[in-house]
């Protein structure tokens, strides 16, 4: 009986964490609607419904309830998808994220990979054109896209390389106020647009400001691992700045690297997933550094611009091994200290 009570308590504590994550995601959800229209909200709702049904099919057979974690997964997944993503691609990715990344391993708390990131990676590979070819222009004006379904029309869809490719290639351009042309801007203006979100990109992660509002809440409440957040952000910033100062092309400076490509969103919301990240503090530091190094390499020196996505999944693979190495080193050092 005592064991069952402990298990229930652990589940309740984890559910409280999931609730706080959902609260922290509210600014990014609001931003997705403001910048790209109400289609973004419907994407989140459809993902939630599909994710709930998928998880219910599995939890029902185990006679367990559907947990709030599925809504964290589906919300994060929707926010890191392009605002123009076709509905079938969105749905397939959600099913993969919940079924193959989480439920087949036993459900809540037993996934090896971050489910949202794994779902996005799956559709990124299977549907590359849907994920990278067309980008919605960001809404201009005081009210943004609050008065429309989407910012995309037959005449203003941006068919081009991804925003990260533009930044990587030094093409500092954004959509103009008319939503149908591009204007070259200074680096300072680029920083401003990346910070406030006036740049095309995935639905809910274009604004570093909104990410930081929710991320700060996670940091202050200790919902997300502070060790992983600091380790990842600091090591990534230092590595980018050093390479930039050494004129290694096409590496960008630390500020542009941190603000662009949803890096901060990944650092606060996805790398810190308590299930797929390491448990020991030393391993958490190594985990952040590994993700930072892989992100710099993949983003700048490969054909893929989703460097953070692959890097977090790569880090997830080695998280258990990192913990094991740390524990073994500590175990070996204990007898020596005793002597």
- pLDDT per position as a tens digit, 22-46: 999 999 999 999 999 999 999 999 9
Q: What is the DSSP string of 292-316?
A: HHHHHHHHHHSS-S-HHHHHHHHHH
Question: Higher model confidence: residue 306 or residue 51?
Answer: 51
- The radius of gyration of the chain from alpha carbons, rounded to an integer in Å, stands at 20
Q: How far apart are CA 305 and CA 291, in angstroms?
A: 14
Can you list the alpha helix ranges (DSSP code H) found in the chain?
A: 2-36, 39-61, 69-79, 87-99, 115-126, 128-132, 163-168, 187-196, 208-220, 226-245, 254-259, 263-265, 281-301, 307-338
Is the CB of residue 204 less than 8 Å from the CB of residue 78? yes
- pLDDT per position as a tens digit, 270-324: 999 999 999 999 999 999 999 999 999 998 888 777 689 999 999 999 999 999 9
Q: How far apart are CA 53 and CA 161, in angstroms?
A: 35
pLDDT over threshold 70, residue 118: yes
Listed in sequence order, the residues at least 6 apart from 161 whose beta carbon sits closer than 8 Å to its beta carbon are: 132, 169
* Coil, strand or helix at 18: helix
Average pLDDT, the chain: 86
Give me the pLDDT at residue 237, please: 97
Give me the pLDDT at residue 179, please: 45
Q: Average the pLDDT over 53-73 and give the result.
A: 93
pLDDT over threshold 70, residue 200: yes
Confidence band for 123, pLDDT divided at 50, 70 and 90 = very high
- pLDDT per position as a tens digit, 152-194: 875 555 555 555 666 655 555 444 344 444 455 677 888 888 8
């Amino acid at each position: 009986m005592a064991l069952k009570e402990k298990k229930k308590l652990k589940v309740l504590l984890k559910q409280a964490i999931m609730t706080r994550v959902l609260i922290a995601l509210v600014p990014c959800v609001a931003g997705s609607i403001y910048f790209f229209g109400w289609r973004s909200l419907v994407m989140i709702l459809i993902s939630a419904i599909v994710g709930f049904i998928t998880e219910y099919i599995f939890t029902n057979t185990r006679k367990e309830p559907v947990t709030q974690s599925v809504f964290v997964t589906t919300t994060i997944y929707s926010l890191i998808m392009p605002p123009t993503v076709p509905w079938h691609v969105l749905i397939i990715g959600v099913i993969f994220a919940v079924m193959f990344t989480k439920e087949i391993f036993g459900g809540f708390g037993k996934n090896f990979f971050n489910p949202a990131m794994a779902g996005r990676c799956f559709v990124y590979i299977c549907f590359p054109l849907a994920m990278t070819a067309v980008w919605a222009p960001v809404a201009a004006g005081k009210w943004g896209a609050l008065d429309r379904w989407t910012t995309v029309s037959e005449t203003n869809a941006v068919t081009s390389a991804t925003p990260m490719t533009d930044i990587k290639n030094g093409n500092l351009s954004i959509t103009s106020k008319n939503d149908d042309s591009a204007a070259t801007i200074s680096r300072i203006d680029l920083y401003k647009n990346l910070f406030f979100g006036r740049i095309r990109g995935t639905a809910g992660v274009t604004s570093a400001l909104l990410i930081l509002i929710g991320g700060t809440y996670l940091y202050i409440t200790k919902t997300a691992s502070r060790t992983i957040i600091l380790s990842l952000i600091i090591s990534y910033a230092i590595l980018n700045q050093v390479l930039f100062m050494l004129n290694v092309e096409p590496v960008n400076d630390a500020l542009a690297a941190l603000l662009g490509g949803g890096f901060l969103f990944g650092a606060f919301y996805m790398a810190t997933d308590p299930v797929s990240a390491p448990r020991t503090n030393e391993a958490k530091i190594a985990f952040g550094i590994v993700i930072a190094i892989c992100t710099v390499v993949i983003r700048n020196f490969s054909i893929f611009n989703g460097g953070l996505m692959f890097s977090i999944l790569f880090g997830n693979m080695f998280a258990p091994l990192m913990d094991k190495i740390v524990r073994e080193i500590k175990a070996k050092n204990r007898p020596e200290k005793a002597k």
